[in-house]
Amino acid sequence: MVGGGFAGLWAVRALKSAPVRITLVDRGNHHLFQPLLYQVATAGLSAPDIAAPLRQILRRQKNVVVRMATVSTIDADAKTLELDCDGGNETLAFDYLLLATGATHAYFGNERWAAHAPGLKTLDDALDLRRKLLLAFERAESETDPDARDAWLSFGIIGGGPTGVELAGTLAEIARHTLQGEFRNIDPSRARVRLIEAGPRVLASFPEDLSEKARKQLERLGVEVSTGTPVKDITADGYRLGETFVPAKTIVWAAGVSASPLGECLGVPLDKAGRVPVEPDLTVPGHPDIFVAGDLATLKQANGKPVPGVAPAAKQMGKHVAKAIRARLKGVGIAPFRYRDFGNLATIGRMAAVVDLGAWKFSGIVAWWFWLLAHLFFLIGFRNRSVVLLNWSVAYWTHQRAARIILGGDDTRC
C-alpha cells in the first residue's frame, strides 16, 4: 500500500484480520485530514490538530508494517518497487499493490506561477501559507507608501472550488473581525479579498442555486467574487485578470490539481491530469494485481460522470480494494466498484455553508452546523476531535484564531 491518505489507510484498516502481510509506505509519518487543511492555513487550527501518526493509528493491527519512505520506481511486471532511503535504496516485492498517492497542485504549464501563488495540499503548504497571510498584515503595518500598503492588503485566491471558497471566506473573516483593533497604521478590514473563478460560477460541482447562494454568502462576508474571467499572469506584485493588472502581494492557488507523478511509473496511458484510468474493479489495465485508488485514479461511473476527487470516494475505493484482495485470496469474484454519493458540502465562513444531499439542499447557518458536525464526526481520533471542537468554540465566540503564530526563523522581519 503506497500512501496513507483516505484511500490507503481505509484499505489497510479493512484488511485488519486478513491473512496478509501489509507494508504501508508514506513519505510523511501521518495521516492528514485534508478537508480541514484550510483551517491550518488560516490559523484556526494547529498542524497536529488535523493529523495523526500512521503508526499510532495502526499500532494494534499486527499485519501492518509502516514505512516512512518515498517510492522512487515501480516495476509493474516484476512486481517490485523501490524505496528511496537515507542509507541506500531498498527493493520491496509485492503480490498486490495499491497506489494511492493522491494529487498535487497543477499550474497548467505556468510553473513559474508556483513561486508567487502557492497551493495547499500538505501540512507544510498550510504552514507556509499561514506564515504568508499573517506576514502580509505585518508588512502592511510597517509600509509607509500607500500603494505598496494596499498591495500588501490585497489577496487573490485563484480557483472557486471548495478550497478557494473556504480560504476566501475565512480570510475575509480574519481581516474584518480577528485582527480588529490590533494594528495602528492600517485598518485590516480594508483588506481586499478576491476570489477568482475562470468558469461561470463558484462551487461548480454543486447545483446552480447553491452556487448562487455561496456567492451571496461570500459577498456578505466581504469577499469580492469574480467569475468568467481567467487569470492570465501571476507575478510577485499581483495578477492579471483578463486585461486588468491587480496589485496583490499574496496570491493563493486553489485552481487545479494533477495526480501524483507516481502514476507515470506504471507505464500505462494517463489522462491529461496525470491520473490512472482504472478498470471498474480499480485495477490498472493489464496489471490485475495493481490497484489505484483515490485522487490518483480516474473512473467513469454508470451515469457517465467520473467518480469525484473527494474524501468519501477515496475511502470507498480503499475499502473496495481491500474487499477485492480478500476475495482474490479466496478465489471468488466481487462486483465492480460503485461510488455511493452521500452528498456534497462546502463551508464558506462563519455560519455560512452549502449542503447538497440530493433530495435536500440547504445553505446558511443550518448548513454550517451540519458541515461542522460532519467534519468533527469524521476527524480521526478522540483527542483531535475535542481540541478542534474547543478551538472552534473559542473562535466562534471570540472571533479569535488559535494558531496565529508566525514561524520560520530568519526572514521574519518587519
Distance of closest approach, residue 97 Cβ to a copy of itself, in angstroms: 19
By CB under 8 A, tell whether 394 contacts a copy of itself. yes
Task: Name which of 145 and 243 has its Cβ closer to a copy of itself.
Answer: 145
Instruction: Using alpha carbons, select from 230, 153, 231, 229 the residue that is nearest to residue 193.
Output: 153
Active-site annotation holder among 90, 111, 143, 166: 166
Determine how many CB atoms are found less than 10 A away from the CB of residue 178: 20
CA 98 to mean position of chain CA atoms: 21
By CB under 8 A, tell whether 181 contacts a copy of itself. yes
Task: Name which of 184 and 330 has its Cβ closer to a copy of itself.
Answer: 184
**Among the residue ranges 238-246, 274-282, 331-339, 403-411, the one whose residues contact a copy of itself (CB under 8 A):** 403-411
Distance of closest approach, residue 178 Cβ to a copy of itself, in angstroms: 8
Task: Name which of 153 and 218 has its Cβ closer to a copy of itself.
Answer: 153
User: Cell triple for residue 246?
Assistant: 491587480
Active site residue 111: no
CA 168 to mean position of chain CA atoms: 15
- Work out the angle between the directed axes of helices 6-14 and 311-330 (0-180°, nearest 10): 30
By CB under 8 A, tell whether 67 contacts a copy of itself. yes
By CB under 8 A, tell whether 386 contacts a copy of itself. yes
By CB under 8 A, tell whether 346 contacts a copy of itself. no
HSE (CB half, 13 Å, CA atoms) of 396?
12
User: Cell triple for residue 37?
Assistant: 487543511
CA atoms of 324 and 271, how far apart (whole Å): 24
**DSSP summary character for residue 283:** E
Instruction: Using alpha carbons, select from 74, 144, 54, 31 the residue that is nearest to residue 287.
Output: 74
By CB under 8 A, tell whether 391 contacts a copy of itself. yes
Give the start-end residues of each E strand in 189-338.
Answer: 192-197, 223-227, 231-235, 238-241, 244-247, 250-253, 257-259, 276-277, 283-284, 287-292, 297-298
Task: Name which of 270 and 394 has its Cβ closer to a copy of itself.
Answer: 394
Fill in the per-residue mask, 142 to 161: x = in contact with a copy of itself (CB under 8 A), - = not in contact.
Answer: xxxx--x-------------
In this chain, which of 141, 212, 281, 341 binds a copy of itself, going by CB under 8 A? 141
By CB under 8 A, tell whether 247 contacts a copy of itself. no
Task: Name which of 182 and 233 has its Cβ closer to a copy of itself.
Answer: 182
Q: Looking at this protein, which amino acid is placed at residue 131? A: R
By CB under 8 A, tell whether 186 contacts a copy of itself. no
Distance of closest approach, residue 144 Cβ to a copy of itself, in angstroms: 8
In this chain, which of 17, 91, 115, 182 binds a copy of itself, going by CB under 8 A? 182
Determine how many CB atoms are found less than 10 A away from the CB of residue 315: 21
By CB under 8 A, tell whether 59 contacts a copy of itself. yes
By CB under 8 A, tell whether 272 contacts a copy of itself. no
Determine how many CB atoms are found less than 10 A away from the CB of residue 146: 8
By CB under 8 A, tell whether 174 contacts a copy of itself. no
Determine how many CB atoms are found less than 10 A away from the CB of residue 386: 12
Residue with cell 478557494: 164
Largest CA distance in the chain: 74
CB within 8 A of 211, min separation 6: which ones? 201, 202, 203, 204
CA atoms of 40 and 387, how far apart (whole Å): 13
Task: Name which of 280 and 408 has its Cβ closer to a copy of itself.
Answer: 408
By CB under 8 A, tell whether 380 contacts a copy of itself. no
Go through the chain and tell me how many residues it has. Answer: 414
Distance of closest approach, residue 32 Cβ to a copy of itself, in angstroms: 9
By CB under 8 A, tell whether 335 contacts a copy of itself. no
Site for a copy of itself (CB under 8 A): how many residues? 68
Catalytic residues: 166
Q: Which residues bind a copy of itself (CB under 8 A)?
A: 27-30, 43, 46-49, 51, 53, 55-56, 58-60, 65-70, 83-87, 90, 122-124, 127, 134, 138-139, 141-145, 148, 179-185, 382-383, 386-387, 390-391, 394, 398, 400, 402-409, 412-414
